[in-house]
Amino acid sequence: MLKSQSVQAIVEQLCAIFDESVANLREALKAYLQRGELPDLKDRAAGRFAYPELRIDYHPTSPRPAHGPVRAFRLNDPGCYASSIARPDLFRDYLAVQLQHLIDDYGVEVSVGRSKNEIPYPYVIDESGIEIGSVSTTELSRWFPSNELVHIGDEVADGFRASDATECRPLALFDAPRTDFSLARLKHYTGTPAEHFQHFVLFTNYVRYVDEFVDFAVDALRRKDSGFRSLSVPGAVYEPGELANAEAEIAAGRWRRHQMPAYHLMADDRTGITLVNIGVGPSNAKTICDHIAVLRPEVWLMIGHCGGLRPSQSIGDYVLAHAYLRDDHLLDDVLPPEIPVPAIAEVQLALFEAAKLVTGEEEEDLKRRLRTGTVVTTDDRNWELRYTASARRFNQSRAVAIDMESATVAAQGYRFRVPYGTLLCVSDKPLHGELKLPGQANAFYERAISQHLRIGIEALTILKREGDALHSRKLRSFDEPPLR
């Protein structure tokens, strides 16, 4: 183990080990494919293809004060904490900030070495020039490390990992195999590389929000003072000098090939905005959150359409969720529905303040068309056909709106310690005879989408100013890994 108290040196050591292991694995693959040479088992056992491991040792010499610095973590117990690290260069800034806090607040000793986890060979083939040809994946998996689901999971995040006094406890929610798995899936689902994802994320369930976001992004890039530097979309990246036909090209582009296309208005230090069109339904919402979570975003918000459940609501009114009725059923095994998913105060305030700024309305006027309340998320798109069975449940929950994604996104934020929030716009009122018919829908979209999207963007701008305060203690458990 190499030891250092310089966070930059620590991150460089992680990068060096990772790069060396990738190079070793590529070299071994080429030797096998070209000459039939098998990798040496002793070399593999010594960590020739291994992910780097980051470890901290905490051995306090005096009791910690009861009220230490307000952080997103707290070290309660002495001992060692370790995790394998994937793609350390991608997480360079995040690791440096987290480690500096741990060193400053707790005086931990940090060390770097090779982990027991090997890099699966599929992750090193892209951009390597390696031609697999007719060799099957089964054959390659026989001689090289491959994806084994037994090593990939969310046991740490879900609190299922059994403690063992003889082993180091987890340093992070996600180890290297879990992280690399999600980084590969992100590109598959969204059509954009993981490197382009920003720390501030918007989810939507309608493609017209994408059109509005692209218009906003292109306009921002045309302004020299916007702070944004490029726009990444499925299949292309647009720089400020390449925007002549950007809107039309993006609309006609490759996004249809991807299940949940993503759009990234990129800024330095990944402080820009990512919008993901997750489509309709809780399954997509769970899937994308599973994978974006490994990037450790600062916050994600759901902005989309909902059915209004109260007679006093009008089409185009807003709903700010302060509670959720989780009828999506996707996460019941890992996060039982009786566990509350609380609203995050800073996010709620930011969304309301953003609504005031964007609409220009006085607070009392805005409250007439922005309701706070419980949002029902269902897994049944045709829930209206079973309303008799649902009516009592809706009534007991005091629900004001229904959709198919928001509670799933919020529950995933709770699971993975990512601050979350929901601002929906009422597109129909099925309980009160106002159904989403084509003509009505088009008029509603034209009027509401631009303002709604800008409220989401303005809320993210407000939340950027929160810094570390956005994460302090709100979502952590009592036995939390040290890294946020």
- DSSP class of residue 137 equals H
Of 442 and 369, more confident: 369
Residues in contact with 385: Cβ distance below 8 Å, sequence separation at least 6, in sequence order? none
Which one, of 297, 306, 255, 240, lies nearest residue 272 by Cα? 297
Task: Write out the H or E segment, with its range, that includes residue 211.
Answer: helix 207-222
Residue with tokens 């009027």: 447
pLDDT at 2: 43
pLDDT at 4: 44
Cα 458 to Cα 251: distance, rounded to the nearest angstrom? 24
Residue 251: what residue type? A
Cα 59 to Cα 62: distance, rounded to the nearest angstrom? 9
Mean per-residue pLDDT, 158-164:
73
CA distances from 438 to 57, 277, 279, 453 (A): 61, 21, 18, 21
Cα 108 to Cα 10: distance, rounded to the nearest angstrom? 13
- H helices of 61-115, in order, are 92-106
Dump pLDDT digits (tens) for 289-332: 999 999 999 999 999 999 888 988 888 899 999 999 999 999 99
Of 95 and 392, more confident: 95
Kindly state the percentage of the chain with pLDDT values over 90: 70
Instruction: Decide if pLDDT at 430 tops 50.
Output: yes
On whether the CB atoms of residues 296 and 197 are closer than 8 A, the answer is no
Instruction: Decide if pLDDT at 166 tops 70.
Output: no
Residues in contact with 293: Cβ distance below 8 Å, sequence separation at least 6, in sequence order? 173, 174, 182, 412, 415, 416, 418
Q: Residue 437, exposed/middle/buried by CB under 10 A (0-12, 13-18, 19+)?
A: exposed
Residue with tokens 């009725």: 325
| Candidate from 34-38, 71-75, 103-107, 373-377 with smallest mean pLDDT | 71-75
Which one, of 475, 373, 477, lies nearest residue 426 by Cα? 373
Q: What are the φ and ψ backbone dihedral angles of 421, each rounded to 5 degrees?
A: -165, 165
Here the contacts of 125-132 (C-beta below 8 Å, separation 24 or greater) are: 125/29, 128/26, 130/26, 130/29, 130/30, 130/33, 131/33, 132/33
Instruction: Decide if pLDDT at 391 tops 90.
Output: no
Structure tokens belonging to residue 54: 């980051």
Dump pLDDT digits (tens) for 59-103: 988 666 555 555 656 787 899 999 999 999 999 999 999 999 999
Residue 315: what residue type? I
| Candidate from 33-37, 58-62, 388-392 with smallest mean pLDDT | 388-392
pLDDT at 3: 46
Cα 448 to Cα 308: distance, rounded to the nearest angstrom? 15
pLDDT at 163: 60
pTM: 0.92
Mind giving me the DSSP string for 11-39? Answer: HHHHHHHHHHHHHHHHHHHHHHHHH-PPP
Tally Cβ neighbours within 10 Å of residue 272: 25
3-state secondary structure (DSSP) of residue 250:
helix
Structure tokens belonging to residue 232: 């990444």
Cα 194 to Cα 50: distance, rounded to the nearest angstrom? 21
Instruction: Decide if pLDDT at 409 tops 70.
Output: yes
Cα 53 to Cα 307: distance, rounded to the nearest angstrom? 48
Cα 167 to Cα 158: distance, rounded to the nearest angstrom? 19
Residues in contact with 478: Cβ distance below 8 Å, sequence separation at least 6, in sequence order? 76
Average per-residue pLDDT for the chain: 90
- CA diameter of the chain: 76
Mean per-residue pLDDT, 234-239:
94
Dump pLDDT digits (tens) for 266-282: 999 999 999 999 999 99
Which one, of 194, 22, 200, lies nearest residue 91 by Cα? 194
On whether the CB atoms of residues 331 and 408 are closer than 8 A, the answer is yes
pLDDT at 165: 60
pLDDT at 254: 86
